[in-house]
Each structure stands twice: as structure tokens, then as C-alpha cells.
Amino acid sequence: MDLTNESEVQEVYELLSGHYVEDNDASFRFAYTAGFFKWYPDLLALTNSRALLTPDYKKELHVGLRATHNKNRKLCGFISGIPITLRIRNNTIKTVEINFLCIHKKLRSKRLAPVLIKEVTRRCHLEGIWEAVYTAGVVPSKPISTCRYYHRPLDWLKLYETGFSPLPPRSTKERMVLRNKLPENTSIPGIRLMEEKDVASVTKLLDTYLAKFDLAPVYTEEEVRHWLLHKGDEEGERVIWTYVVPVRSTQFTLLMNRTLRTTISPTLSRSIHCRQLS
């Protein structure tokens, strides 16, 4: 896929919007925006700004599968990879993060996912990369790590009305709204948005934190600048807000807030935004 071509970026966007991660009854589905594609480097190619591309960005690792029965050559499958540096205990290796594996719903029984996986694997080998990592919502055959995350509703009533969040047993809507109510002002003194001048300190803080784990990515200052300082191109197109809390002149506490839209099936006639906090 040539993601420097706007029309091909639009094709990827439409495929993911209609056929990517969703629940079992297809009521909720991730709805990635153009701003997200510009922020996420393995789908970005709309501009030449180096701030929007990771240093090891490789367009060869964007693989698409097209229909050939007509002239339209509709995009029916996609997979992408980002070269990353991974530390495993005391060893550092070059690897690839695989993401956005997506097959058109009508073709799910045709065994096309293994075809895409084999092709992106072949391309990784040509680049001299022999290991890859990926995440899944199910337990894979041989997982090397697991991660537990928690949801904190920001507008519980809206989530309940759309069917996203259930009403717990022996509770009421009023009680859940009160329980999840947010304070008017933050209780963290000195919190502010991360700025360009904070990149070096944040990189050091992140490295120190990740050093506690046996398996962790290794970030350069340029990568931290890309991932955590995205400001968006238009109103509403910003993806991540990174906050710092100065402890001393050169020390910080770090908080990140990433926005990912979720669409609801037309029968529910609503749309919601879920914010992932880390």
C-alpha cells in the first residue's frame, strides 16, 4: 500500500471503519479518525513532516489485499507493521509491532488472514527483522506477556443509555451517576500539558519506569516527541494529551490521555467517545 497516496489512505480508513474491532453483535466498533492515522505512524503518509513519522518508518510493511474480479480492485484486507526497539531483560533487539490486521467481513471464511501474516513476515525478513510482537483480545497459543487494564467511565449515564455499560445488580442509575461523578477541579497541584522543553525529562522518566519490566520498548527522544506531543491539525483531530506534574526543576510525574472514537450500530442511533486513560 502506498500511504503517501490520499486515495489509498481513504481506502484503509473505510476498511477499518467498517470491519475492524467490534463486539460480538456488531453494535460497537472502533472509529478511527484521520487525525489518528496522522498520529499513528504505521498508517501515516499524508504529510512529509518528520515529526509525524517514526525514525524507522517503512512503507513496505503496509500490506493490502485487493479484489481482482473487477476493475475497482476494492481493498479487502490490510495489515501493518512498525519497526520498534524492544528490550528483553538485558538484551535489545530490533523487532516489528504488527497491528491493524483486518479482513472484510464477507471474506472471513476464506483464510486470508494467514496470507497477510505470511506476506508481512516475508517483508520483515527482507528488512533483516526476524521477530515481531502483536496484541490480541484472546489468549494466543504462546503469549509472552499479559496486560490488565481498567475502565473509568467519564459519562456513565450516556454509556448506559447506549448499551455500552450495564447497570450493576442492586444498584440504580442515580447511584452510578453519583459514584462516577468527576470533581470540577483537579486535585493534582501543578499539572500542565507537556511542552517541547519537557521531551528530554519525560524520556528519562519513561526509561526509568520501563526499566522495572523484563519486556519493554525502548524510546528515543524523537519517538517520545512523536508519540506524546501530537497536537492535531484541526479542531477535534487531536489524539493524545500528555500532562506532566513538575516535582523539581528537572523531575516530573507523567499522565497520558488518548482519545479513541467508538461508533454504535444505526439501530441505537447514537455515537460515543471512549477515552483511554493511562
DSSP string, 84-105: EEEEETTEEEEEEEEEEEEE-G
Q: Which amino acid is at 19?
A: H
Has residue 30 been placed in a domain? yes
User: In terms of domains, do 104 and 196 share one?
Assistant: no
Cα–chain-centroid distance for residue 235? 20
Name the domain boundary from 133, 166, 183: 133
User: In terms of domains, do 96 and 190 share one?
Assistant: no
Q: Count other Cβ atoms within 10 Å, centred on residue 61.
A: 23
Instruction: For residues 260 and 272, give the distance between their C-alpha atoms in angstroms, rounded to a whole number.
Output: 10
| Grid coordinates belonging to 78 | 490490510
User: In terms of domains, do 107 and 167 share one?
Assistant: no
Higher pLDDT residue, 168 or 278?
168
Has residue 40 been placed in a domain? yes
Tell me the pLDDT tens digit for each residue of 94-141.
999 888 888 988 888 889 999 999 999 999 999 899 999 888 777 777
Cα–chain-centroid distance for residue 266? 25
Has residue 41 been placed in a domain? yes
Does 154 have pLDDT greater than 90?
A: no
Q: What are the angstrom distances between the C-alpha of 71 and each of 10, 75, 78, 104, 112?
A: 18, 12, 19, 18, 21
Q: Quickly list DSSP for 238-257.
A: --EEEEEEESSSS-EEEEEE
Instruction: For residues 145 and 51, give the distance between their C-alpha atoms in angstroms, rounded to a whole number.
Output: 30
User: In terms of domains, do 24 and 87 share one?
Assistant: yes
The CATH number given to whatever domain includes residue 245 is 3.40.630.30
Does 36 have pLDDT greater than 60?
A: no
pLDDT at 40: 56
User: In terms of domains, do 86 and 183 share one?
Assistant: no
Q: Considering its fold, how many domains does the chain have in total?
A: 2
Has residue 142 been placed in a domain? no
User: In terms of domains, do 30 and 120 share one?
Assistant: yes
Residue with cell 476464506: 110
Half-sphere exposure of 60 (CA within 13 A, CB side): 14
- Pairing mode, strands 62-66 and 75-88: antiparallel
Instruction: For residues 275 and 33, give the distance between their C-alpha atoms in angstroms, rounded to a whole number.
Output: 14
User: In terms of domains, do 69 and 115 share one?
Assistant: yes
User: In terms of domains, do 110 and 218 share one?
Assistant: no
Tell me the pLDDT tens digit for each residue of 180-206.
998 888 888 888 888 888 888 889 988
Has residue 146 been placed in a domain? no
pLDDT at 269: 43
Residue 116 near residue 101, CB atoms below 8 Å? yes
User: In terms of domains, do 90 and 164 share one?
Assistant: no
Q: What is the pTM of this model?
A: 0.72
Domain residues for the domain of 266 are 156-277
DSSP secondary structure letter of residue 4? T
